[in-house]
Structures are given as C-alpha cells and as structure tokens.
Amino acid sequence: MSSSISQTTRHLFMVEPKAFYFNTSTAPSNPYQINDDEDRVIIVKRAVDEFRSFVNLLVENGVHVTVAKGIDGCPDHIFPNWFSTHEDRKLMLYPMLTENRAAEKTPGMVETLSRHYDLIHDWGHYEADNKCLEGLSSLILDRPNRKAYGTFSPRTDKDLAEKWCVDMGCEPHLFETAAHNGDPVYHSDVMMHIGTEFVGICSESILPDYRDDVLQSLSETRDIIDLTMDQVRAFAGNALEVKGENNKPMLIMSQSGYDSLRQDQRDHYLKYIDRFLTPSLPTVQHYGGGAARCMLQELF
C-alpha cells in the first residue's frame, strides 16, 4: 500500500438543509426512501436537529467540519455527493440524476470550494444526456492503491464510471448488484465502505459473476467484514472511516446501522478503529433513504 496517499481525512464537509422531505424525483431508484403524510415543516425541523447533533458529535471527537447552508427546492441537499476532493488539492463536480439534485451545486458552494481546490473536471454537462455519476457515492475508492469500486445503477452510468477511472488513473472494479427488492443498489456506498485496513461489504448483494473478482481485489490489502442484506437495510454499509484527535481512526455509522451489527462484527471493526461514532438519524434515513456516510464529503 502506498504511504504517500491517505485513505482517510480529518476534515469533512456537510450541508445543513433548508428543505428536507421525500424526494419524489429520486424515489424510483431508491427503495430505502419512505413517504409518510407528514407536515414538511415538522420533517425539516427534525432533520436539522439530527444534522446539528451529528455535527456536534463529530466536533466533540476531534473531527474538523465545514458546514454550508442548503437552499430551498433541494430536498437532498443534506447529501453532498455532487463533488469530490483528491490529493494535490483537486476538485471534481459530478452529473446528478435529477434536476433538484443538479441544483445542489450552487455557485456559492462551488466558488468556496474552488478557492481551496483546483477544479479539474466539471461533468455537469452530462446531465443534458441523462447520464449521471453521483460522486463517491457511486465509486468507492481505495485511494492508496488507486482502485475504484462501484455498482451500476440509474445513479452510476457505466461509461462515465469507466471514463472516471481512466481520467483519474484508477483500476476499475465495476459490478452489478441486487438490493433486497431485486433492483440494483442505488449507490455503492450503501453496500460497502473501505477503511485504511478493513472493508465492510455486503457480498450477498453482488451478483455471482462479479463477486469473486471484487472480494479478491479487496482482500489483497484489506480485512473483509461481511455484512448481511438486513444490515444494509439498516444502513450498516453506509459508513466512513475518519481521523480524530491524534489521527485516531474512527468509524462513522448511524445508530441503526451500529445496532444491526453482531458483537463479533463490532469486535472485528474495533481491531482497526479506536471507536464508533453513531449519530441517530431516523428522519434523514426514513425520508431521504441515506444515512451517515451520505451526509459527509471528505476534504483532502
């Protein structure tokens, strides 16, 4: 494993939502979203409360957090997967599936990021061709070994995923999946996460033709912790390793995901991390169909 590129960071970017509700535009590809007849004012208040508690938890554990303010009309602004940052202060912007997700790339946020990073690719123009690649929710990176893992879905265009790997100099490991309802897992970060020394992954969700290749590649440099489909539904797959004070490694996973883990799985993770950080995100998960990792973007 290369020592010059870190898998993890201590600095995260988050967006406090101005709007938050069931996004009908994204729901066809996301079976984890649930709609209830509830007042949007109540929903967004609870989501903001969960967001702020999450930020406080991170800060209390030594993580640096940059918070931006969301805008109206963007119910998924809380999930900032429209950009990614990379070593040598590089920035990339991504094409999103729906108009209200594309609108999340506000000029103010892009300008702020561009003050600190060099924008090397803006792929927003692919939205006009109905092609999307939703950032590092679509592609899960093994940064030191320059590998990218991702499952094809309406949110992850095969051609764009392959082009990304070529342009960014990463070895592609692209595969097909089936979620609990038989459809492709909408985002790769729902069913897997890669830490410095471990990977959590639901191998059951990977179609058999691809499974051996993915697991073989991951096992070359990581200890594999296998997750069940039920644990994915509880968002145990949607996790992120982050550095805290003294660069201690911690794993961010929502409370529901953590609660779904068996004790032997928790002990397995704890061989490689100092602790779990487990924000409670019931409202965000229920209406948004995403959890802790979806709410975070790494700043390198």
Q: What is the pLDDT of residue 3?
A: 55
Q: Determine the Cα–Cα distance for residues 82 and 63; give it in Å rounded to an integer.
A: 22
Residue 1 has pLDDT above 60, yes or no: no
Q: What is the pLDDT of residue 54?
A: 99
Q: What is the pLDDT of residue 175?
A: 98
End-to-end CA distance of the chain: 18
- Residue 220's region, left for phi above 0, alpha for psi from -120 to 50, else beta, is alpha
DSSP sequence for the chain: --SSS-S--SEEEEEE-S--S--TTTGGG-TT-------HHHHHHHHHHHHHHHHHHHHHTT-EEEEEE--TT-TTTTS--SEEEETTTEEEE---SSHHHHTTS-HHHHHHHHHHSEEEEE-GGGGGGT--B-HHHH-EEETTTTEEEEE-BTTB-HHHHHHHHHHHT-EEEEE-B--TTSSPPS-HHHHEEE-SSEEEE-GGGB-HHHHHHHHHHHHTTSEEEE--HHHHHTTSSS-EEEE-GGG-EEEE--HHHHHHS-HHHHHHHHTT-SEEE----HHHHHHHS--TGGG-EE--
Q: Which amino acid is at 83?
A: F
Rounded average pLDDT over 266-287: 98
Residue 2 has pLDDT above 50, yes or no: no
What is the average pLDDT value for the chain, to the nearest integer?
96
Rg of the chain on CA atoms, in Å? 18
- Residue 54 or residue 23, greater confidence: 54
Residue 297 has pLDDT above 70, yes or no: yes
Assess if CATH 3.75.10.10 describes domain 11-298.
yes
Q: How many other C-beta atoms are found inside a 10 Å radius of the C-beta of residue 231?
A: 22
Q: What is the pLDDT of residues 49-74, one digit of tens each?
A: 999 999 999 999 999 999 999 999 99
Classify burial at 242, counting beta carbons within 10 Å of its beta carbon; exposed 0-12, middle 13-18, buried 19 or more: buried
Q: What is the pLDDT of residues 105-157, one digit of tens each?
A: 999 999 999 999 999 999 999 999 999 999 999 999 999 999 999 999 999 99
- For residue 70, how many C-alpha atoms fall within 13 Å in the half-sphere facing its CB? 27
Q: What is the pLDDT of residues 281-290, one digit of tens each?
A: 999 999 999 9
What angle is formed at CA 262 by the lines to CA 272 and CA 152, rounded to 5 degrees? Answer: 75
Binned at pLDDT 50, 70 and 90, residue 293 comes out as very high
